[in-house]
Chain A
Amino acid sequence: MKDKTWFSPVFMLICTAIFTGILSGVFVYSRPLIQANARLNEITAQLHALDITIPADVSPADLESSYEQNIDEVNINGLTLYQYKTVDGKINYAIPFEGAGLWGEITGIIALDQELKTVLGMDFISQNETPGLGGRIEEDWFKEQFRSISLYEDGEPIRYAAPGSEGQIDAITGATATSSAVLDIMNAAIQDAKSKVGGGNS
């Protein structure tokens, strides 16, 4: 039977059905877990960008419910963003950004104050940059540079400090392409937010 011509395609079909069947089963079973992980990752990124400290021992469910209570998803002129009311009654914005990095898409969150003049912080949700080079954008020293920096009024809102020109943050040595891509994506998101949300319409 093994050498019959008809047996080869039949064997292939049966094998494919069995293996893809098992994979589909595993995928369906683990999908809620994967989605919950992705959701948790996004919430953590937003809170981190907004400079809200997450207690170390909080359970994912508690984190989710307190997130739901304190942060509202709003849509302003077609831009989806997240609002957080601070204790002194101000509204901070967490704005999602996405764009092309060197190897793949980079997504993340940048948080701005009510006047859209100060960056409160930022965090990445996903990136595929070179580990050890561009991938260092995930390191805290890089991300923490964006804590409470004032934006430039004209031209690019955030700039790298370079010899002969002033800027708020340092780029990553040896990873020029990723460094400029990251800044371009964030600047585009800030400009977009400025044009849609406006400076003082609240």
Chain B
Amino acid sequence: MKSQYREIAKQTLWTDNPVIRQILGICSALAVTNLVSNTLVMGIGVSLVTAFSSLTVSALRKIMPNRVRMMVQTLIIAFYVILVDIILRAFFPDMSRALGPYVGLIITNCIIMGRCEAFAQTNKPLISFYDGFMSGLGYTLVLATIAIVRELMGFGTILGIQILGEWWTPWTVMVMAPSAFFVLAIIIWVANSITDKKLHAAGKPVNKGVQASGN
């Protein structure tokens, strides 16, 4: 049982990371990564919505008819996203103002439905919740790395704190969405080189190319 939890953590954070191995959640990887603070809040939002959606889908899995499961999953995800939005607007108005349209964007994240389909549909509620949360964490980890590079080069700051001095000329391209593609591609390249080398050393077949893709 314990080893299963450890295995999930290893997969979601590294070997089967939703962003760098499954290429999911790319849409928001571009949209929110120009500031580290936005990325962290988005990461918390996605982690919580994924965790609770997986929990609910898993709890309903035995009575849910197969042919309407996608509709029910969409309903459940929409339910949690709207819930997060209402709670933020009622109790954390400043954060809600800073996030603006991002909260609504959580719904477009493929990772959430991906985990509901791939994991929660066939596993028990508690471990589904854990799997969803860890997937969100794996997503946050990669996005935070992109955001650190982009904020540092685009503004010379990290979390709004000045890191680079006056001598640094901010790169405007780093503030704009296309730069996330460059940074993400480099991260995927580095990560895949490391894992491929390990697989090669272990005598296992090296996975060329990407299995799944989505936004």
Contacts and interface: CB of A to CB of B under 8 A. Distances in A.
A23 B68 contact: no
Interface in A85-130: 103-104, 126-128
Nearest to A103: B101
B154 interface: yes
A27 B86 contact: yes
B1 to A, nearest CB: 28
Interface string A1-26: 01100011101100110011011001
B90 A33 contact: yes
Contacts of B175: 132-133, 174
A174 B171 CA distance: 11
B70 to A, nearest CB: 11
Contacts of B103: none
A30 interface: yes
Interface size bracket, B side? 20 to 34
B38 interface: yes
A127 B71 CA distance: 33
Contact of B86 (A2, A12, A30, A128): A30
Contacts of A103: 101
A31 to B, nearest CB: 8
Interface stretch (B18-26, B76-84, B107-115, B121-129): B76-84
Contact of A15 (B75, B83, B97): B75
Interface in A29-48: 30, 33-34, 37, 40-41
B75 A8 contact: no
Contacts of B155: 132
B65 A128 contact: no
A164 interface: no
A163 interface: no
A132 B175 CA distance: 7
B67 interface: yes
Given A41-B93, A132-B34, A2 B100 contact: no
Task: List the 9 closest A-B pairs by CB distance, nearest first.
Answer: A30-B90, A37-B93, A33-B90, A19-B79, A8-B65, A132-B34, A8-B68, A174-B172, A132-B175
Interface of A: 2-3, 7-9, 11-12, 15-16, 19-20, 22-23, 26-27, 30, 33-34, 37, 40-41, 103-104, 126-128, 131-133, 173-174
Interface of B: 32, 34-35, 38, 60, 63-68, 71-72, 75-76, 79, 82-83, 86-87, 89-91, 93, 97, 100-101, 154-155, 172, 175-176
11 contacts: A2-B65, A11-B64, A11-B65, A11-B72, A12-B68, A23-B79, A23-B83, A27-B86, A131-B100, A132-B34, A173-B172
